[in-house]
Amino acid sequence: MADPRVMGVGTNILTQPFAPKGASQAHHGGKGFVETLQESIEKVDQQQKAADASMQDLAVGRGKTLHETMISVEQAGISFKMMMAVRGKLINAYHEVMRMQF
22 in a structural domain: no
77 in a structural domain: yes
54 in a structural domain: yes
Q: Are 14 and 32 in contact (CB under 8 A)?
A: yes
* pTM exceeds 0.75, yes or no: no
Per-residue pLDDT band at 12 (split at 50, 70, 90)? very low
59 in a structural domain: yes
pLDDT at 27: 47
Span 44-85, pLDDT tens digits: 999 999 999 999 999 998 877 899 999 999 999 999 999 999
pLDDT at 29: 63
pLDDT at 33: 85
Domain containing 41 equals 31-99
Gyration radius (Cα) of the chain, Å: 21
Compute, in degrees rounded to 10, the torsion defined by CA atoms 60, 64, 66, 70.
-110
pLDDT at 62: 87
